[in-house]
Amino acid sequence: MNPEILTELQRAARFLFLQKLAFGGRVKGRNYGNINTTKASRFNPHELWDGIEDIHRRLSSVQIENLPWREAIERYDRDYTLIYADPPYLGFKNYSHSFTIKDYEELADVAKSIEGTIFISHKEHPEIRKLFRAMDVKEFPFDYSFQKGGRKKVVELVFCNREIPQ
């Protein structure tokens, strides 16, 4: 089914369905390589509605947008706003929208000047560290395990324009 012809509600339902089926629907403790075929699927369509109700309660006061990043920040920047930015990784080509070094420079400048709190994530990269050096940074090491050649240790960086509590 082509997701481009679906309504937003149908796309959301499709996403939820696919997420629940992918890797047993696990979000925590994923185990990609060892599929247990002796147990039944953890997907239970009768429990799906409870999950949707939980999601509705948790997101009822959250504004989620799909806008160009500059427009979203301009529209919603307030002293009480929390913004999470996950731009395309520098140098990766397999994105539908590219992000140039100039875009990163602009994002770094904007992040320093906004009223709200912004978190920006990116994989370890010396140029990114340099651009966001004025911001607080926290490192999250983990293993990529879903690729050729086995596990690969990587570090995800999260930058913030406020001090990140330890």
Residue 15's pLDDT band (cuts 50, 70, 90) = confident
Residue 149 and residue 130: Cα distance in Å, rounded? 30
Range of the domain at 130: 66-166
pLDDT tens figures, 86-133? 999 998 887 778 889 999 999 999 999 999 999 999 999 999 999 999
123 plus 71 within the same structural domain: yes
Q: Give the domain-ending residue among 62, 81, 100.
A: 62
Q: Based on the fold, state whether residues 85 and 133 are members of the same structural domain.
A: yes
Same domain, 56 and 97: no
Give the count of domains, the chain: 2
113 and 151 housed in the same domain: yes
Q: Are residues 142 and 72 in the same domain?
A: yes
So what's the pLDDT on residue 32?
Answer: 46
Answer with the one of 62, 85, 114 that is the final residue of a domain.
62
Residue 125 DSSP symbol:
-
Q: Do 47 and 91 share a domain, yes or no? A: no
